Amino acid sequence: MTGPGHAVIARRADGLEICLGTSRVNIDVVHRWLARDAYWALGRSRDLVERSLAGSLVAGVYDGPGPDARHVGLARVVTDDATFAWICDVYVEPDRRGQGIGSWLTQALVEELMERRGILRLLLATRDAHAVYAKAGFEPLAGVWRWMEIDRRPHKDAILAHEPAPNPPSG
């Protein structure tokens, strides 16, 4: 475990809870999830995982309260905590998928960021979980042609696999 305290922002009847903060985060587990299983982060070093968590608002999903609860999911939020937030590294342990945890985590983050903190613009990217995020209110990016990027990620091709053809602006 690492970092400062945590705040419980949501609980489910089955005992799962979402905590903001890094005090309960199991770095070894999160590093294993991202570096070995998450198509967007394959091979990510432990140092990079630690730095990314330290520089983000972290939401962990745990199978109950207390320091010994099993860590079953995670999301990071990169934000200025005023006008913009990017939700990333959303991950649910494989044996817990299909139980609505990803949708619940995303919905709790939308509520935390927009309703409690007043952030009016949220962004995320996904290759294959559009339905999960749509349940929390996300839609395809409007005005995508306005966005530009520099992308030097080593697994960019895996991340962009199955990408639909771009729709350039008309007119």
The more confidently predicted of residues 155 and 129 is 129
For range 61-65, the mean pLDDT: 95
The reported pTM is 0.87
- 157, two tokens: 């091709």
Q: Domain 6-160, CATH 3.40.50.970 — does that match?
A: no
Tens-digit pLDDT profile for residues 9-57: 999 999 999 999 999 999 999 999 999 999 999 999 999 999 999 999 9
The answer to whether the CB of 161 falls within 8 A of the CB of 125 is no
Find all residues with CB under 8 Å of 75, minimum gap 6, and list them.
Answer: 58, 59, 87, 88, 89, 90, 91, 105, 106, 109
Q: Is 112 helix (H, G, I), strand (E, B) or coil?
A: helix
Q: Which of 112, 72, 73 is nearest to 89 (CA)?
A: 73
